[in-house]
Amino acid sequence: MDAAEASARWCVVTGGRGFAARHLVLMLLRSGEWRVRVADLAQVISLDRDEEQGILGAAIREGQAVYASADLRDKAQLAKAFEGAEVVFHMAAPDSSINNFHLHYSVNVEGTKNVIDACIYCKVKRLIYTSSPSVVFDGVHGIFNADESMPYPDKFNDSYSETKADAEKLVMRANGRYGLLTCCIRPSSIFGPGDKLLVPSLVAAARAGKSKYIIGDGNNYYDFTYVENVAYGHICADKTLSSEDGAKRAAGKAYFVTNVEPIKFWEFMSLILDGLGYQRPSIKIPVSVMMPLAHVVEWTYKSFCKYGMKVPQLTPSRIRLLSCNRTFSCSRAKDQLGYEPIVSLKDGLKRTIESYSHMQAQNQRSISKTSILLGNGNVAKTLLWEDTKQTMTVLLLLAVIYYQLFTCGYTIITAMAKNFSLTALFLFIHGMLPANVFGHKIEKLEPSNFHISQVEAHHIACSVSSSWNSLVGVLKSLCRGNDWPLFLKVVFFLLVVSILSAMSSEAAFKIEFTCNNRYSSHFHRLQSI
């Protein structure tokens, strides 16, 4: 180790290739205060294309970041990875959806013992452990705005929660041993770009037609945490422990970290599904109906997992998680660690949805021949009833036009005046209605919907100018007298206009109706072919 490397401030992130850990690594590198050792199970690091071209790839090439292959169950590998480190962020953990006690105990408990021992052996100053709010959840009683005084339950929801609680106790008890300062962060329901569990599972359910269901009454509240806020919470904990006063108030304690914006669980899921173009969940299924099915599914998995059966989405522990309240207070983290969310829930959702644009419904929808023939746009969506609201609006509009122009015998000017009057009446009454009528949400029309921005106005002006120039171009071509096809097209168009203008509106409508019927029958014949 040369002098420059010896003087550098090194930190280690265990499980450094995991979802939240990747964001923490990037945040540490961006700060410019740390060289980062990324520790994980793989023998060598494999970077994604974006990582190769981004901060992490550059940091590895410049020596600001290095990779260390380390298994938490091997103390010697951990000691090698922690050598020269000032702080260790212990984020490694198995997949929480796999209810395998042996796996969770060996990694979460035995592995954390090894991490603590390796920290003491390597004289690491601070250990920040990524715990979970599930350590206080019994799987039966909901949690609403709980703080850190809430005790561990007598019985845990699953083996993951139980072993995380055991590991958390080990870390807090290790505080002060041989100068090691420890702290535990409990991030609630992490989401964001790079997540390989929440959004992919949700999209898979949507594609299978299962996203329409709500487990329980749908009114349970959750605290979701954007992944960058999780990373920031860890950095706040380390900075607090690095000062003498901060260490006195924060060392050996656990802290809940959330976005401080509780939201209904199923509303959050709906926002993601909406953003990706999938159907919102709407059909409620009681927990009492789902739980027996979940037990059967879990038993089946335990019996056949050795034959390669994938981890099921429907398990008893997950049913409890989907139907209970789980919100937590961040007051202690705010007062003692100086933690505040740096990304709002709204912005976090927007970034998450944008990062999964490749999973949008429109990218997966099979396009029918009929849709292609109709242009595969708004016309196709309307005629094929793919957008119910749009189709119903067009049908209502056509009904009003038919009534005003043909049934009542009004002139065009009279019909337009009456339609404008009806529109004004509708807008006024709609504006007076409350936001919720008999449990149905009324979507309000914002005044901004009728505003035309300067950019839009410019586009409209350009379109009008372009149309005018095209017309002038046609007139110039006619004046030259050398474009017979264009001349015949213009004559035919004017002939049709003169014929239609000589007819009554009722007769024109009948002709149009007859043509539409013929076109429709011909179109159906094409489809059958």
Three-state SS string over 348-390 comes to: HHHHHHHHCHHHCHHHHCCCCHHHHHCCCCHHHHHHCCCCHHH
Residue 405, pLDDT score: 65
- Its domain, for residue 494, covers 483-529
**pLDDT digit string (tens) for 199-258?**
998 998 888 777 888 999 899 999 999 999 999 999 999 999 999 999 999 999 999 999
Whether 321 maps to a domain, the answer reads: yes
Q: Are 129 and 167 in contact (CB under 8 A)?
A: yes
CATH number at residue 115: 3.40.50.720
Q: How far apart are CA 20 and CA 234, in angstroms?
A: 11
Residue 39, pLDDT score: 97
DSSP 105: I
pLDDT band for 449, please (50, 70, 90 cuts): low
Which residue shows structure tokens 């509009």?
A: 397
Q: Are 141 and 322 in contact (CB under 8 A)?
A: no
Residue 3, pLDDT score: 46
Residue 527, pLDDT score: 40
- 339 and 196 within one domain: yes
Residue 498, pLDDT score: 74
Whether 385 maps to a domain, the answer reads: no
Residue 242 has φ and ψ, to the nearest 5°, of: -75, -15
Residue 294, pLDDT score: 86
Torsion over CA of 104, 110, 115 and 120, rounded to 10 degrees? Answer: 160
Cβ neighbours, 10 Å, residue 8: 15
- 498 and 353 within one domain: no
User: 426 burial class (0-12, 13-18, 19+ CB within 10 angstroms)?
Assistant: exposed
> How confident is the model over 303-316, as a mean pLDDT?
72
**Nearest Cα to Cα of residue 192 among 221, 228, 222:** 228
**3-state DSSP assignment of residue 468:** helix
444 is catalytic: no
Whether 337 maps to a domain, the answer reads: yes
**pLDDT digit string (tens) for 62-87?**
999 999 999 999 999 999 999 999 99
Identify the sign of the CA torsion 495, 499, 501, 502: positive
**Average pLDDT of every residue of the chain:** 84
Q: By percentage, how much of the chain surpasses pLDDT 70?
A: 80
> How remote is the C-alpha of 113 from its chain's centroid?
35
Tokens of residue 247, six digits: 């260490």
Domain's final residue, options 347, 363, 379:
363
Tokens of residue 252, six digits: 């050996």
pLDDT band for 399, please (50, 70, 90 cuts): confident
Task: Among 52-56, 294-298, 467-471, name the most confident range.
Answer: 52-56
Q: Are 186 and 167 in contact (CB under 8 A)?
A: no
Cβ neighbours, 10 Å, residue 401: 12
Inform me whether the pLDDT recorded for 164 exceeds 70.
Answer: yes
Catalytic residue, candidates 125, 164, 196, 369:
164
| Choice between 224 and 402, residue whose per-residue pLDDT is larger | 224
Q: How far apart are CA 463 and CA 458, in angstroms?
A: 9
- 264 and 115 within one domain: yes
**pLDDT digit string (tens) for 84-138?**
999 999 999 998 877 788 999 999 999 999 999 999 999 999 999 999 999 999 9
**Nearest Cα to Cα of residue 73 among 87, 88, 92:** 92
Whether 397 maps to a domain, the answer reads: no
pTM: 0.68
**Nearest Cα to Cα of residue 268 among 198, 204, 315:** 198
> How confident is the model over 144-169, as a mean pLDDT?
95
Whether 395 maps to a domain, the answer reads: no
Q: By percentage, how much of the chain surpasses pLDDT 90?
A: 51
Which residue shows structure tokens 């209810």?
A: 99
> How confident is the model over 143-169, as a mean pLDDT?
95
Which residue shows structure tokens 């809940």?
A: 256
The amino acid at 363: N
Whether 369 maps to a domain, the answer reads: no
Q: 486-518: b or e for each residue (b if 16 or more CB lie within 10 Å)? A: eeeeeeeeeeeeeeeeeeeeeeeeeeeeeeeee
Determine the number of helices (DSSP H) and then strands (DSSP E) in the chain.
Answer: 24, 17
Tokens of residue 49, six digits: 């294309």
Q: Which residues pair with 255 in a beta bridge?
A: 185
Domain's final residue, options 363, 395, 429:
363
- 3-class SS letters over 495-518: HHHHHHHHCCHHHHHHHHHHHHHH
Whether 406 maps to a domain, the answer reads: no
Q: How many domains does the chain have?
A: 2
Residue 1, pLDDT score: 45
Distances (CA, A) of 356 to 18, 21, 83, 244, 349: 18, 19, 38, 43, 11
Q: Are 190 and 18 in contact (CB under 8 A)?
A: no
Whether 520 maps to a domain, the answer reads: yes
Q: Which residues pair with 20 in a beta bridge?
A: none
Beta-sheet pairing, 181-187 with 126-130:
parallel
Inform me whether the pLDDT recorded for 4 exceeds 70.
Answer: no
Distance, first Cα to last Cα, the chain: 76
Distances (CA, A) of 73 to 117, 232, 428: 12, 28, 69
pLDDT band for 311, please (50, 70, 90 cuts): low
**Nearest Cα to Cα of residue 343 among 193, 186, 203, 198:** 193
- 234 and 92 within one domain: yes
Domain's final residue, options 322, 348, 363:
363
Residue 231, pLDDT score: 98
- 488 and 350 within one domain: no
Residue 19, pLDDT score: 95
Which residue shows structure tokens 């299978």?
A: 208
pLDDT band for 403, please (50, 70, 90 cuts): confident
Q: Are 327 and 221 in contact (CB under 8 A)?
A: yes
CA atoms within 13 A on the CB side of 288: 0
Residues 6 or more apart in contact with residue 364 via CB below 8 angstroms: 207
